[in-house]
């Protein structure tokens, strides 16, 4: 039964929040103050009375009316907030907070409450893009095969100048070149031991460290020989801190090893894995490259489709939703840093930014993730895209087995509780549903004749089943969410890389200090 003693005024704010101005009957405040008095009386000692038994007037004289008012307001707010939400007939995204005490006579409170996001979809059925996934060439397969050969090379020291293909062990340091960087002192690379395999003349060396083509700079050097060279990093260098910097590198060769490569035959294929012959290995390599190329192309294609849908849609969400996503982005960064033995403090010092600067930098990433998630959820709901319960159970079992396979018995105990399994299942359900929605949108954008047919698995299940038998093609996995700087060995600095659900029940956030205004 609703309390007629509440008068509520609703004002919609521009940022998907509402301001609720609530006028409360004086009797409710008096009742709350008396509850506060009993609560305080149990905490303090009042001469002549047992704990919690002192009369209201005595407690009032002992602690003062201001203390009773402050604690009484906190009790009152917690008591009436669920009713305020119900009577307002709004759908909160999460807990609101008491923004202001407008007056005490009559008691008038202002609450700010975040609302659930609203999505008005554009005509996403009319969005079309050419679908032209890349083809894997024989040259691509040969490049991977050659990479495996290089990994199985046998090395032996030689007493001759370094040649193409040799593995050269050396000491390397670098500093700013004085003539070009006058007044800017400091080492770029402290002397360290490293090694390079000298690339062939026709090989792509754009990813070589410390700069493109470095390995071929040691051709002709002998063990014990020292050399200095000057290099100016281009303005588009992958190392941002080194762009257009001229550096002087000091090289000292410690050892030169020739590399003897295995012959490319059936025996070589069998040494890589359980392959009958070289043809079987090359077939597996091609399939792996095709799967990776398809996954990468689809991810980029899906992103383009989603961006077009977002541009044609209207999306509103409260700032708390973006804050939650920002927290998640930063937490994921911390986890990646920890996996590399780094911490956030070192990362921030290296980047010369503070936590607020990091959050500002991560904001576009969080915004994109929120927009895409909301669009996908809306379309999944509108198109009634769902996941079969049996498939969900099977995928959860596979994922749980994969996660716990190499865990100790004590670590596995974290999955003993029903809540842990429920959270894992919920996460897998959300991912499977989103993947199917992406596949549906991809079919629409490609112009498939019947995109409303029963949704097929995104391919992840089949890929997972084949994972154990498939050759692992060298290369980095693609992570579209990882748009913050990645961990890399930047010559100019030690660099490191860098769907929340809220409780929408009738709760109010912890109260700030209350400022009473007459």
Q: How large a percentage of the chain has pLDDT more than 90?
A: 63
CA 99 to chain CA centroid, Å, is: 32
What residues are paired with 10 via a beta bridge? Answer: 20
Q: How far apart are CA 76 and CA 448, in angstroms?
A: 59
Residues listed for the chain: 518
E strand or H helix at 456, and its extent? none
**In this predicted model, what pLDDT tens digit does every residue of 255-283 receive, in sequence order?**
999 999 999 999 999 999 999 999 999 99
Give the count of alpha carbons within 13 A of 354, CB side only.
1
Res 431 pLDDT > 50: yes
Q: Provide the terminal-to-terminal Cα distance of the chain, rounded to the nearest Å.
A: 31
Quick check: 115 and 104 in contact, CB under 8 A?
Answer: no
Among 193, 184, 187, CA closest to 249: 187
Among 112, 104, 109, CA closest to 517: 104
* Angle at the Cα of 431 from the Cα atoms of 428 and 435, rounded to 5 degrees: 140
Q: For residue 164, name the pLDDT band (cuts at 50, 70, 90).
A: very high
Quick check: 458 and 275 in contact, CB under 8 A?
Answer: no
User: Per 3-state DSSP, what percentage of the chain is helix, strand, and coil (rounded to 5)?
Assistant: 45, 15, 40
What residues are paired with 231 via a beta bridge? Answer: 247
How much is the pLDDT for 40? 82
Structure pTM? 0.70
Burial of 362: CB neighbours in 10 Å, binned 0-12, 13-18, 19+: buried
Mean pLDDT, rounded, for 127-136: 95
Domain annotation for the chain: domains and CATH numbers: 6-116 (3.30.70.1050), 124-134+272-466 (1.10.3120.10), 154-260 (3.10.50.40)
């Amino acid at each position: 039964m609703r309390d007629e003693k509440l008068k509520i005024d609703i004002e919609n704010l521009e940022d998907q929040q509402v301001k609720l101005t609530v006028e409360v009957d004086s009797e409710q405040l008096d009742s709350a103050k008396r509850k506060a008095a009993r609560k305080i009386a149990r905490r303090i000692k009042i001469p002549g009375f047992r704990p919690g038994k002192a009369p209201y007037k005595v407690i009032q004289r002992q602690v003062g009316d201001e203390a009773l008012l402050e604690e009484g307001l906190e009790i009152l707010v917690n008591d009436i907030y669920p009713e305020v939400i119900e009577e307002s007939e709004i759908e909160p995204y999460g807990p609101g907070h008491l923004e202001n005490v407008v007056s005490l006579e009559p008691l008038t409170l202002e609450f700010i409450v975040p609302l659930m996001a609203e999505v008005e979809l554009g005509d996403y059925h009319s969005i079309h893009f050419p679908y032209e996934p890349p083809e894997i060439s024989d040259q691509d397969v040969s490049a991977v095969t050659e990479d495996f050969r290089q990994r199985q090379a046998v090395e032996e020291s030689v007493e001759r100048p370094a040649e193409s293909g040799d593995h050269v062990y050396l000491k390397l340091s670098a500093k700013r070149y004085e003539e070009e960087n006058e007044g800017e002192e400091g080492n770029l690379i402290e002397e360290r031991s490293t090694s390079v395999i000298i690339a062939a003349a026709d090989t792509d060396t754009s990813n070589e460290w410390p700069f493109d083509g470095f390995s071929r700079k040691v051709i002709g050097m002998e063990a014990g020989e020292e050399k200095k060279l000057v290099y100016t990093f281009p303005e588009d260098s992958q190392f941002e801190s080194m762009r257009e910097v001229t550096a002087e590198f000091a090289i000292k060769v410690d050892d030169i090893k020739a590399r003897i490569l295995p012959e490319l035959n059936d025996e070589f294929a069998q040494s890589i894995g359980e392959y009958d012959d070289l043809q079987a290995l090359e077939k597996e390599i091609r399939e792996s490259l095709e799967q990776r190329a398809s996954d990468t192309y689809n991810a980029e294609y899906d992103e383009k489709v989603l961006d077009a849908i977002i541009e044609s849609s209207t999306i509103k969400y409260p700032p708390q939703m973006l804050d939650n996503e920002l927290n998640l982005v930063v937490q994921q960064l911390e986890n990646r840093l920890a996996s590399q033995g780094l911490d956030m403090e070192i990362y921030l010092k290296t980047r010369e930014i503070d936590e607020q600067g990091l959050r500002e930098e991560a904001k576009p990433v969080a915004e994109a993730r929120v927009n895409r998630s909301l669009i996908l959820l809306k379309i999944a709901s509108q198109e009634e895209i769902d996941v079969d319960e049996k498939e969900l159970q099977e995928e959860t079992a596979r994922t749980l087995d994969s996660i716990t396979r190499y865990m100790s018995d004590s670590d596995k105990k974290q999955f003993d509780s029903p809540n842990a399994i429920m959270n894992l299942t919920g996460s897998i359900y959300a991912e499977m549903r989103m993947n199917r929605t992406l596949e549906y949108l991809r079919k629409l954008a490609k112009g498939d004749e019947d995109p409303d047919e029963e949704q097929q698995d995104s391919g992840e299940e089949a890929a997972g089943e084949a994972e154990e038998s498939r050759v692992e093609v060298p290369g980095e996995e693609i992570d579209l969410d990882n748009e913050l700087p990645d961990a890399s060995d930047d010559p100019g600095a030690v660099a490191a890389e860098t769907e929340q659900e809220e409780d929408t029940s009738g709760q109010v956030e912890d109260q700030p200090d209350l400022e009473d205004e007459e």
